[in-house]
Amino acid sequence: MKQLKLTDFVFFLFFFTESLTLPTKPQDVDDFRITQKFVEENIEYITIIAFAQYVQEATFEDVEILLKDMIEYKDRCMANKTLPECFKLPNNVLQEKICAMEGLPQKHNFSHCCSKVDFERRSCFFFNKKADVGFLPPFPTLDPEEKCQAFKNSRESFLNQYIYEVARRNPFVFAPTLLSVAARFEEVAKTCCEEQQKVSCFQTRAAPVIHYLKAFSSYQKNVCGALLKFGPKVLNFINIAVLSQKFPRIEFKELTSLIEDVSSKYDGCCEGDVVQCIHDTSKVMNHICSKQESISSKIKECCEKKIPERGECIINSNKDDRPKDLSLREAKFTDSENICQERDIDPDNFFAEFTYEYSRNHPDLSTPELLRIANVYEDLLSNCCNTENPPGCYRHAKDKFNETTEKSHKIVQQECEHFQNWGKNGLKYHYFIRLTKIAPHLSTEELISLGEKMVMALNTCCTLSEEFACVDNLVDLVLGELCGINENRTINPAVDHCCKTNFAFRRHCFEGLKADKTYVPPPTTKDLFTFHADLCQAQNEELQRKKDRFLVNLVKLKCELTDEELQSLFTSFTNAVDKCCKAEGPEACFNEEGPKIGS
């Protein structure tokens, strides 16, 4: 493989790739040639990501076998592009070759996918992905000196294995994001391997990379979950709300054209089609820069940059300044006498325009709240337009909007008050108990992860001036992870109802959930309340993880207890750990104290 400097090309890959439909405009033809060459030269990276995400159990040795096959395929097509196999879609070629690997489909239980073709096979591979990666071994951790030696010996092999390990644990993250993560990690390795204090350097510099991955992963899974569970209409409204707030100067006609490109990109990205995903993302950025004068005054310098830097610059650009007449334009949806007739001409377009106007008029609101307002407005007109005096009915729309937003504000206000009063640990334990009670069938590790993400959202947002939008956006992403990306994910009737009934109002729905009444706790065993002296040997982080697991498993076992009773038992456990680890004979102390907690 050609030596690719990821830091030079990662955003090139993000915003430029092979078009699956041959372009006709001169600029598009140039883009096609550049991207086609890039894809051909970097088939290894693309193959590793796709294979590791589709078959997470596969070993790196399996990956190397497929890489060899894909490189031979590329060489054949480079030599003779008229071969029939060279006209196939890249994702189809990849899946065919995965299915042809001897014994692999049977070994990892995806042979049923290989008996299908085209869309059905692609869908099967997608639904075979597993979000809960507890079945995989822990992420390989090398001593920093070993890590640096491996990096110096073969940068290419080192990054290939890193991409493989990250991709298989993040099966729904878009390929461009994974390549960006690899690029950032390469910079971390370059810097830290020259430092004396390698351990502290890796810990400090790797943290932002992990945060970047988690943030993009959460958003992408949430949006793909919305598409798969609720269809393209909800996806379109999400994108309308987001883009209208970022680009409030954009005219509605231009927005609808951009939305077509933005929404269509998720078809390939959510399905896991690496090449299609990259192509469609490129198309979005090209569209924005080709119409920048009518879209945003903040991206001129971004669009003048070279392709590698352009995309990230646009994503990180500030929201544009709002036009002065926005409130007047919004008023036409509540004050006009002919709203019902206008709605009936093209309902989807009408409500899309309402969402556009309301979103750019309210930069302080979260994306979920804007979708709630759109829902409320649609329901209001559904009722009002069937009355004798529709204008007299829908003129109170603003009151309905304010009621909805006030309810959402109260939820966030209460959450931030809990954060201020209980602190990070107190709040974490609160969410461990709450989430385990409403979804006890989830694995202990998944419940811990969800609880930690809830705390991270509040810790990030509760002191900001834009507190409401920040909290509501981030907490909604956590609920999106709980609901899962696959439409066939089932947890329990109450949670499933919140996840699948209404995307905009699922947060309000979750607020009303009580403990799962269908859950049957496992038989009580002494194991949970049997502790040993090795607890005292655990380092701070490891000990905290053991405490977290104990609390979640305690709730699963004794879910009928009140939150206060569970907190009391947990306090008894932590007190016992502190007491026994200070005692001369920790094991004897635990033998005495453990049964008291479980009694």
Helix (H) or strand (E) holding 455: helix 444-461
* Tally of CA atoms within 13 A in the half-sphere of 367 that contains its CB: 22
b (16+ CB within 10 A) / e for 532-551: eeebbeeeeeebeeebbbbb
Cβ(555)–Cβ(440) below 8 Å: yes
Count the Cβ atoms, other than its own, within 10 Å of residue 587.
14
Residue 475 burial (C-beta neighbours within 10 Å; 0-12, 13-18, 19+): buried
Helix (H) or strand (E) holding 6: helix 6-15
Cβ(486)–Cβ(228) below 8 Å: yes
387: left (phi over 0), alpha (psi -120 to 50) or beta: beta
Cβ(485)–Cβ(225) below 8 Å: yes
Q: What is the four-CA torsion angle of 350, 356, 358, 362, rounded to 10 degrees?
A: 170
Is 273 assigned to a binding site? yes
Cβ(370)–Cβ(358) below 8 Å: yes
- DSSP calls for 337-398: TTHHHHHHH-HHHHHHHHHHHHHHH-TTS-HHHHHHHHHHHHHHHHHHTTSS-HHHHHTTHH
Mark the binding-site residues for Zn(2+), compressed into ranges. Answer: 273
Mark the binding-site residues, compressed into ranges. Answer: 273
